[in-house]
A and B are shown apart, each in its own frame.
Chain A
Amino acid sequence: DAGVIQSPRHEVTEMGQEVTLRCKPISGHNSLFWYRQTMMRGLELLIYFNNNVPIDDSGMPEDRFSAKMPNASFSTLKIQPSEPRDSAVYFCASRSDTQYFGPGTRLTVL
């Protein structure tokens, strides 16, 4: 099994630009999570889906953030417009019984 796949692995962009992060969960996993990790705030849960349906998006910091899961094998997290304070590592994770994390996307907003 390839595990959770995220792309891109690194993203550098300028303030105001749109950023789209992508995730392919492990086949057969029915829950998908997006986390953000920074030194200051630790590992924060942004949003999670169950059977492709968003269950709780209370962790999404503001309206600039949106996430979709159009099918069981793909999810996106979009930031529009991006700001320097969005710089962080963004992890996608999927779960059946055990939660597995993808390698993360390191986002730098200049």
Chain B
Amino acid sequence: GQSLEQPSEVTAVEGAIVQINCTYQTSGFYGLSWYQQHDGGAPTFLSYNALDGLEETGRFSSFLSRSDSYGYLLLQELQMKDSASYFCAVRDTGGFKTIFGAGTRLFVKA
């Protein structure tokens, strides 16, 4: 079967750094993506890792270790507007199908 595991909730304070982990078990692997979703909104794309290592985009970075079936999203200099749900997602071997984790709800406190 295919499954992705990520923490259900994370709480952090404004200005801090937070890491959201994702482990996956899939029949194939094409890449790991991260999406952000605010309440009442649609998921929006944040980052994509096809190869091992760190990808940096502004305050957000994403890491992948294919040998460990593990990745994380790192959010720096947290702002109140970062309060949202964050989903990791895996594309299968064929690259067609994207499966989403259950999401991590991030609460940023003042």
Contact = CB atoms under 8 A, between A and B. Distances in A.
A42 B100 contact: yes
B97 A43 contact: no
> Chain A, interface size: which category?
10 to 19
A43 B100 contact: yes
A31 interface: yes
A43 B45 contact: no
Contact of B43 (A31, A50, A101): A101
A91 interface: yes
A91 B96 contact: no
Nearest to B91: A99
A104 interface: yes
Interface of B: 33, 41-45, 48, 87, 89, 96-103
Interface of A: 31, 33, 35, 42-43, 45, 48, 50, 55-56, 91, 95, 98-104
